[in-house]
Every structure is written in structure tokens, then in C-alpha cells.
Amino acid sequence: MTMPNSTTVAAPNSTPVSTPTPIDNADQPLVIKEHNDQVVTLTLNQPKQFNALSVDVLAALQTELDTIAADSGVRVVVIQANGKAFCAGHNLKEMRANPDRAFQDALFDQCSQMMLTINRMPQVVIAKVQGIATAAGCQLVAACDLAVAADSAKFATSGINVGLFCSTPAVAVSRNLSRKKAFEMLITGEFIDAQEAMQQGLINRIAPAEQLGATLQNLVDAIVSKSPVAVTTGKQMFYQQLDMSLPDAYDFAREVMVENMMADDVAEGIDAFIAKRPAVWTGR
């Protein structure tokens, strides 16, 4: 069901993904969840706070992601935002109001666990960036499996500007960008535009703002058209092999490939290819 104050953009015969409209009502949820067939859209809904990752917003995201991760009927998760900013990082006012070490430790652990959940959950997670993404907001984009952005979007790891090196964002950002570019962003706090973000590997596709929904839809359609077994297996394998040595990565990949070959979907896919007909996936 489509939530009030939202619209959907869909290609023919596709699973629609939602497009946000600005909401400034304090009574609205921190994160809006919309479930359309095989796609769940999570919309950050604190536009007046530039969708900062407060303790409560992080908790709301974690709850939704945990629920989605256990739902085998969901293939793709889209994280988007209402308002001018995608996400401006942590809530600095909240951080200054709670300066003790215990709060800070709990906050960054909470954020790290949420980012790890995105990495570990079986569904493909796509960031849809319509505005600025700074500090932990840039980390959120980097933590997602894929990202699309409006051509007006901008990205920065700007903690350095207030004396705080973006150490936790550095983990995700340095795993997307080249080492020198990642460090330049982290050490200068300077913005990069969407075009450079795509060239550097932070995002996958860019589009004019009015075409961003259609660009996202094309990516979603490409994923949900594939075997659920292959996509879930592939995401897990991809991240797990990244930190292995080359021989260990090949050993691991061989085991995964053999196991994947035993799936019913592979037999169906090969038979369909030979017969020149569309495959009918069962997810087994």
C-alpha cells in the first residue's frame, strides 16, 4: 500500500518504487516504510533536521532493516529521504547535549551495527540520493550495495571541519573510493558533486532530479528480474571474499559456485537459455 503524501514511479510490468514528497509534520514517523510487492522503501523523514542520524532515527532504521532481513519475499530495499538533504550525518546538537564517553560509545556502536546490517542482510540495498549526503550520511550511501543520485547531489565527509575526523564513515568510504581520493575527502571535508562521486565509485548512476525515480526503477527492475538464489548468494559471496587472499578467495568462490550450481534456479535458467525462453524463477 502506498503511504499518504507519497507517489510512485513505475515502468510497465515493474515493481514500483516510491518517490518522496516533503513532509514537515512532527507527528510523522522518523522513517516511513512502504512495501510494494518485492521492494521495500524506507524514507528518512526528518527534513527540518536534514535527516540527521539521531539515536532515535538509527533505532528506527535498525528495527525496519532487521524485519526486512527476515522477509524472504523482499528482494530490494531502497533508502531515500524527504526534504532537501538525503542525510547530514549525526545530530551534532544531540551529541553535544550528551558529551559523556558512554553516550558517544553507544551512539557510534549503534551506527556501526546499522551499517553492518545493510552489508549482511540478503536483500540488495540501494541509496536514492536527492540532496547532500555528509559525514555519516555519506557513510550511509557508501554502506549501501548500490546508489543512484540526482545530478545536483553533493557528498562530503565533513567532520574534519568541526575538529572530528570521520573515522567510522572512513570505513565505508575507503571501501568505495580509491585510497587517495577517500583520504582527500576525509582530511579536507570538501564536497564532491554527483559526477565525480560516480567517477570515483561512490554511486552507480546519476540523473536529473525529475528522472531519478525512473533511473532507480531501471536498476530495481534489473535486480528483481534475476534469480533470488543468485542475487542472495552473490551479495554474501561478494563481500565475504573481499578481505581474503587471492588463493583463499578462489577456494571460497569455487565452493560457493558449486553450491549455487545445485540450485533449481540454475537448472531452470540454463534450460531456459538453451530453449530461448524466459526463465521462471522459484527461489530454490
Query: What is the tens place of the pLDDT at every residue in 44-101?
Result: 999 999 999 999 999 999 999 999 999 999 999 999 999 999 999 999 999 999 999 9
**What is the DSSP code string of 86-153?**
EE--S-HHHHHH--SHHHHHHHHHHHHHHHHHHHHSSSEEEEEE-SEEETHHHHHHHHSSEEEEETT-
* Helix, strand, coil percent content, the chain, rounded in steps of 5: 50, 20, 35
The pLDDT of residue 18 is above 80: no
The predicted-structure confidence for 92-143, as pLDDT tens digits, reads as follows 999 999 999 999 999 999 999 999 999 999 999 999 999 999 999 999 999 9
The pLDDT of residue 10 is above 50: no
- Residue ranges covered by each domain of the chain: 6-224, 228-275
Q: Are 189 and 156 spatial neighbours (Cβ–Cβ below 8 Å)?
A: yes
The torsion defined by the Cα of 134, 173, 113 and 240, in degrees rounded to 10, comes to: 160
pTM of the model as a whole? 0.89
Stated as kind and residue range, the H or E segment containing 34 is strand 31-36
Mean pLDDT computed over 175-180: 96
The CATH homologous superfamily for domain 228-275 is Lyase 2-enoyl-coa Hydratase, Chain  A, domain 2 (1.10.12.10)
**Given pLDDT bands bounded at 50, 70 and 90, which one contains residue 23?**
very low
Alpha-carbon gap, residue 67 to 256, rounded angstroms:
26
Q: Compute the mean pLDDT over every residue in the chain, rounded to the nearest whole number.
A: 91
Alpha-carbon gap, residue 76 to 40, rounded angstroms:
6
- The answer to whether 6-224 and 228-275 have equal CATH topology is no
Q: What's the pLDDT score for residue 1?
A: 29
Radius of gyration for the chain, computed over Cα atoms and rounded to the nearest angstrom: 19
DSSP 204: S
Kindly state the cell numbers that stand for 37: 510487492
> Lowest mean pLDDT: which of 18-27, 111-120, 164-173?
18-27
CA 59 from centroid of its chain's CA atoms: 16
Q: What's the pLDDT score for residue 28?
A: 85
Higher-confidence position of 106 and 23:
106
The predicted-structure confidence for 214-268, as pLDDT tens digits, reads as follows 999 999 999 999 999 999 999 999 999 999 999 999 999 999 999 998 999 999 9
CATH 3.30.230.70 for the 6-224 domain, yes or no:
no
